[in-house]
Amino acid sequence: MAKLVPLNHPALHTIAEEFTREEFESGAVTKLLKDLQSAIKTYKVDGYTAVAIAAPQIGVEKRMFIIVDQSKGEDRLPTIIAINPRFTKLSKKTHVVGEGCLSVPDYYGVVRRHTNVTLEALDEHGKMFTRGAGGLLAQIMQHEYDHLDGILFTDRAEEVWEKDKVPKGRQSEAEPT
């Protein structure tokens, strides 16, 4: 089973490579997707279940991330498989939001993110799709996309705290995404 790599792993600090048509045909895309789906189910941070994971987080330097909301209820995030993604639109409006990360489990921080984005990517069958998003979904897409470029939320954060030292009044900003 695929597992998260340690923080010093090169895949977390390298720009990931795009998938080729041959990799779709050979089954490499399907294998990595299964590994990501398996890995995301096993991780929780401070009682929160993981909702997204990118290939570099399991040591694979390829451009794929998935969003899978394992919670129950009406406010669930949509399941998204994004292969070779790119943003086609980023709103001018930004906001500062709290973030945590499976790859940086001992820290929380606040990061400036675009409030709305439009993402273009391939699905698991190699078919192009476009997806707009706002709020939390836009934030998660940007966070996962950063992983594909070797960027951790701590690299972008305006402030970072050890999880047990988040200042009073900042706890709600620093909940993990």
Closest CA to 12 of 43, 44, 53, 48: 53
Cα distances (Å, whole numbers) of residue 124 to 60, 81, 159: 16, 7, 36
Q: Active-site residue 61, yes or no?
A: no
β-strands 44-45, 52-54 pairing: unpaired
Tokens 């451009």, located at residue: 63
Question: What is the token pair recorded at 38?
Answer: 């398996």
Determine which one of 22, 25, 61, 144 is catalytic: 144
**Catalytic residue positions?**
144
